[in-house]
């Protein structure tokens, strides 16, 4: 349905505080968040309720939640322009998630690739049911804000499709209620791969040493990780979908996503260069991204009270949108309103 709720088109997205954010989280999500924030009414959420689906250390979760919010600002999200908030501060997310869980077909949930990947790594008997219901919570996050667009890396596209299907189902059963959101993937960097294994997505929870560049990595460590990235035994430097060339393709993609240049320009620049030159250029591009971001992050973490005030304001602004949507959905589903 057309968005009849918002005067300006709205954007919603979030990142789990489930570890240290990576260059993949930056290029797939954060960078686009910054780019669209002046064109849309943007809500950026630290999705801590999602972070408990894979188990968490309580002290670490609290810490990572603050760090993620600081990272959003350090990456360029302006809290005066966009709304930054913590998911668990808005109870409507959990409430709508339950309502949506009850109408989400089990078959749809079991078909989610992320669920199958994550379960595949663990003992099925002991995994938490939250991992299965993760997409219903994500749907609640998006639908509560009548978001028109959701800027994410392409690993989240299936969850977005699920959200649209669930919204359609709800609207069909109970009357037009939710706005159908569209996915927004970056032109370059929609899926950054692991430096040590370029056939697997770079993930913040992957523990091997050389897998990811973290946004808070010391720059000399970041350089080393890129210089050690897996490549191949070919010589020419070009973008390629061939699996055996995935390492070089990944380095070129990181470079392209940071430099915002076309593939042709980049291939031209590296036409007579070797893999060592490519790695050095990628390392410099990454370091030039990390340095200002880390400087701002450190300032923010030392600025007593500032982060809390941003999150308090964010909570108020998010609640003002989410609460009426929840009430509307509750009414449509037949819940008796409290007198
Ligand atoms: N490698 C990636 N390339 C491009 N985009 C990525 N994103 C994550 N990894 C890459 C995007 O970052 C946003 C936040 O993701 P998330 O933390 O909510 O969940 P995720 O996709 O499962 O990210 P991780 O880093 O892999 O987290 P863990 O290891 O905790 O599961 C999303 O927009 C995602 O597309």
* The pLDDT value given to residue 1: 46
* The pLDDT value given to residue 325: 97
Q: What is the DSSP letter of 337?
A: P
Burial class (CB in 10 A: 0-12, 13-18, 19+), 90: buried
| 317 belongs to the catalytic site | no
* The pLDDT value given to residue 187: 92
Instruction: Convert 237-273 to b/e letters by CB count within 10 Å (16 or more is b).
Output: beeeeeeebbbbbbbbbbbbbbbeeeeeebeebbeee
Query: Ligand 1 pocket check: which of 153, 250, 253 to mutate, most ligand atoms within 8 Å of Cβ?
Result: 153
| 116 belongs to the catalytic site | no
* The pLDDT value given to residue 120: 80
Q: What is the DSSP letter of 88?
A: G
Question: Angle 200-142-201 (CA atoms, 0-180°, nearest 5)?
Answer: 5
For the CA of 202, the nearest atom of ligand 1: 1
Residue 205 contacts residue 54 (beta carbons within 8 Å): yes
* The pLDDT value given to residue 304: 81
User: From start to end of 143-256, where are the E strands?
Assistant: 149-151, 182-184
| Count of CA atoms in the C-beta half-sphere (13 A) of 6 | 27
* The pLDDT value given to residue 126: 80
* The pLDDT value given to residue 10: 97
* The pLDDT value given to residue 6: 77
> Which residues of the chain, if any, have pLDDT below 50?
1-2
Q: What's the 154 CA to ligand 1 centre distance in angstroms?
A: 9
What is the C-alpha to C-alpha distance for residues 152 and 14, in angstroms, rounded to an integer? 8
* The pLDDT value given to residue 108: 96
* The pLDDT value given to residue 280: 97
């Amino acid at each position: 349905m057309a968005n009849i709720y918002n005067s300006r088109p709205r954007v919603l997205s979030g990142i789990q505080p489930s570890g240290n954010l990576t260059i993949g989280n930056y290029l797939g999500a954060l960078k686009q968040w910054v780019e669209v924030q002046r064109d849309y009414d943007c809500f950026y959420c630290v999705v801590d309720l999602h972070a408990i689906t894979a188990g968490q250390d309580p002290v670490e979760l609290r810490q990572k939640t603050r760090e993620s919010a600081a990272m959003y600002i350090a990456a360029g999200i302006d809290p005066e322009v966009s709304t930054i908030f913590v998911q668990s501060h808005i109870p409507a997310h959990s409430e709508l998630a339950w309502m949506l869980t009850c109408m989400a077909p089990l078959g749809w949930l079991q078909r989610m690739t992320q669920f199958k990947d994550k379960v595949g790594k663990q003992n099925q008997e002991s995994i938490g049911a939250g991992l299965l219901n993760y997409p219903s919570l994500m749907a609640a996050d998006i639908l509560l804000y009548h978001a028109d667009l959701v800027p994410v890396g392409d690993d989240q596209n299936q969850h977005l499709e699920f959200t649209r299907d669930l919204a359609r189902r709800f609207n069909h059963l109970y009357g037009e209620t939710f706005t159908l959101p569209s996915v927004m993937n970056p032109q370059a960097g929609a899926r950054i791969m692991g430096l040590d294994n370029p056939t697997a997505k770079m993930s913040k929870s992957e523990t091997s040493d050389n897998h990811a560049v973290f946004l808070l990595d010391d720059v000399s460590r970041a350089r080393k990780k890129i210089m050690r990235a897996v490549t191949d035994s070919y010589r020419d430097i070009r973008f390629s979908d061939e699996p055996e060339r995935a390492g070089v393709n990944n380095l070129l993609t990181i470079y392209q996503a940071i430099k915002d240049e076309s593939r042709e320009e980049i291939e031209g620049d590296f036409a007579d260069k070797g893999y060592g030159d490519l790695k050095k250029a990628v390392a410099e591009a990454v370091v030039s991204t990390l340095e200002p971001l880390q400087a701002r992050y450190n300032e923010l973490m030392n600025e007593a009270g500032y982060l809390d005030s941003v999150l308090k304001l964010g909570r108020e602004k998010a609640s003002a949108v989410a609460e009426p949507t929840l009430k509307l959905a509750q009414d449509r589903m037949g819940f008796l309103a409290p007198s």
